[in-house]
């Protein structure tokens, strides 16, 4: 690592993955003690985390609530859908990647009605088609979209979509797993009713819990909807309001780490500071990879600054499994591709990574392709 922090006796691998990701030493150290989940200290930590999340979303004291939930980001997505949909509800899912597809699968498992507008993984949705679908189908009650699609790094136009959704008075849900904390967002201005994210993304915490931000009147209107006890966001919110506690055993260490991660975000200059560092990382990565001859899967105008999908080189000596293993053995962990219509691999620039870390992995990538005899 390049922030001057070391771990003795073992070499820490650097994660160029979009979550779990590389965390700071101080975030790790925050987990080196135990705390009772009913202790005043922990209850205060939950309160502080919930307040900070609303501040990051620029909706503190503006009629929104933050609800923490044990589990991964997908738990939060399922909780929003399970809690937020009444028995007559129907979703419009805007899908241009694997995580939009996952939203559709969750809806199917819950036996909720849906319509899907599916687009290529390297293209933005058709806003006119979204408007037409909402106009022609009055039974649609909710609209879902992924903001920064982790499949590729594509950024969907959530503000424009939100404006359309609200013209038809529908509930708007944004999966912001790979954007919240590194994109400046005002949930009220974006017309967002529900947002889901997780601790181990751009705020640079560790896995263990996810969270939903909800417009309070929309949350209160979900009374009686829940299809799951453990994933009932309204009931968990009531618990936080009543005694500040989780209903079931909480991930105490993860929340202590997240509280420290929030302090580090603040020290960095908040979301604008974090966004600037990630954008510098992204630009460094793109320039270095292009110089070697790699090409991106997405066009730059729809590419975000969190994760990038690169096409496999056409040279026959390139073997991704070998490429991945050599990088991993050298201490650099990248991501396999998840695109359905192309051979790609992914490199993320989020987490406790700096420009020097990006330059380091670029050097190792260059050495690796040279050793494999790949000509780019």
Helix (H, G, I), strand (E, B) or coil at 302: helix
Q: Residue with structure tokens 């954007």?
A: 179
Mind listing the domains of the chain with CATH numbers?
Answer: 14-22+269-372 (3.90.1150.10), 26-266 (3.40.640.10)
Residues of the chain with pLDDT under 70: 1-11
Comparing C-alpha atoms, which of 193, 202, 209 is closest to residue 145?
193
Helix spans in the chain (H): 25-29, 40-56, 73-84, 98-109, 127-136, 158-167, 216-220, 233-243, 252-267, 270-292, 320-329, 355-372
Comparing C-alpha atoms, which of 71, 298, 86, 56 is closest to residue 195?
56
Q: Are 141 and 167 in contact (CB under 8 A)?
A: no
Q: Are 95 and 102 in contact (CB under 8 A)?
A: no
Q: What per-residue confidence (pLDDT) applies to 317?
A: 83
Q: To 10 degrees, what angle do helices 73-84 and 233-243 make?
A: 100
DSSP string, 319-333: -HHHHHHHHHHTTEE
Cβ partners under 8 Å of residue 266, min gap 6 = none
Residue 171 token pair: 């509930």
Q: Whole-model pTM?
A: 0.94
Q: What per-residue confidence (pLDDT) applies to 5?
A: 46
Q: Are 282 and 349 in contact (CB under 8 A)?
A: yes
Consecutive H or E run containing 311: strand 307-311
Comparing C-alpha atoms, which of 37, 134, 147 is closest to residue 99?
147
Residue 229, number of CB atoms within 10 A of its CB? 9
């Amino acid at each position: 690592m390049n922030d001057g922090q070391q771990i003795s006796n073992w070499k820490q691998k650097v994660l160029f993955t979009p979550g779990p990701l590389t965390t700071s030493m101080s975030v790790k150290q925050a987990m080196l003690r135990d705390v009772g989940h009913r202790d005043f200290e922990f209850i205060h930590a939950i309160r502080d985390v919930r307040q900070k999340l609303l501040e990051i979303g620029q909706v503190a004291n503006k009629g929104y609530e933050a609800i923490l939930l044990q589990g991964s980001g997908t738990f939060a997505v399922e909780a929003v859908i399970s809690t937020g949909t009444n028995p007559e509800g129907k979703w419009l899912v805007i899908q241009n990647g694997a995580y939009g597809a996952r939203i559709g699968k969750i809806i199917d498992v819950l036996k909720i009605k849906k319509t899907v507008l599916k687009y290529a993984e390297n293209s933005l949705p058709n806003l006119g088609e979204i408007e037409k679908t909402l106009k022609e189908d009055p039974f649609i009650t909710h609209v879902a979209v992924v903001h920064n699609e982790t499949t590729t790094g594509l950024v969907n136009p959530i503000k424009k979509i939100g404006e359309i959704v609200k013209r038809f008075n529908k509930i708007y849900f944004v999966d912001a797993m790979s954007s919240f904390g590194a994109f400046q967002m005002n949930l009220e201005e974006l017309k967002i009713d529900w947002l889901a994210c997780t601790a181990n993304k751009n705020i640079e915490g560790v896995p263990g819990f996810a969270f939903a931000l909800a417009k309070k009147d929309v949350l209160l209107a979900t009374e009686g909807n829940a299809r799951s006890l453990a994933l009932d966001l309204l009931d968990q919110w009531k618990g936080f309001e009543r005694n500040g506690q989780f209903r079931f055993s909480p991930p105490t260490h993860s929340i202590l780490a997240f509280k420290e991660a929030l302090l580090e975000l603040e020290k960095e200059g908040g979301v604008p500071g974090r966004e600037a560092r990630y954008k510098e990382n992204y630009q460094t990565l793109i320039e270095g990879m292009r110089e070697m001859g790699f090409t991106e899967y997405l066009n730059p105008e729809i590419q975000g600054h969190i994760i990038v999908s690169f096409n496999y080189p056409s040279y026959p000596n390139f073997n991704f499994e070998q490429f991945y293993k050599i990088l991993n053995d050298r201490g650099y962990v990248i991501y396999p591709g998840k695109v359905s219509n192309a051979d790609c691999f992914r490199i993320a620039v989020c987490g406790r990574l700096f420009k020097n870390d990006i330059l380091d992995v670029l050097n190792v990538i260059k050495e690796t392709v040279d050793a494999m005899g790949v000509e780019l």
